Amino acid sequence: MYAIMLHAQDRSMYIPPEQRVETPQANQAEQSYGATSRFFVGGNFGFTFLGDYNYVGISPLVGYRLTSWFSPGINLNLNFVTDKTVPDQTTHYTTIGAGVFTRFFPFQWLYLQIQPEYNQYQVKVKSGGTTIDQQTYHVFSLLMGGGYVQRISENAYFNFGVLYDVIQNPHSPYYGIPVVQGGINLGF
pLDDT tens digits, residue range 83-140? 999 999 999 999 999 999 999 999 988 999 999 999 999 999 999 889 999 999 999 9
The per-residue pLDDT for 152 is: 82
The per-residue pLDDT for 130 is: 92
User: Beta partners for 185?
Assistant: 157
Contacts of residue 87, defined as CB under 8 A and 6 or more positions apart, other chains included, come to none
Assess whether pLDDT exceeds 90 at residue 65: no
Cβ atoms within 10 Å, residue 119: 21
**Mean pLDDT calculated for residue range 8-12:** 43
* pLDDT, mean over the chain: 81
Q: What is the pTM of this model?
A: 0.73
What is the phi/psi pair of residue 168, to 5°? 60, 50
Assess whether pLDDT exceeds 90 at residue 159: no
pLDDT band for 18, please (50, 70, 90 cuts). Answer: low
Radius of gyration of the chain (CA): 19
The per-residue pLDDT for 31 is: 45
CA distance 94 to 104: 31
Contacts of residue 24, defined as CB under 8 A and 6 or more positions apart, other chains included, come to none
The per-residue pLDDT for 35 is: 52
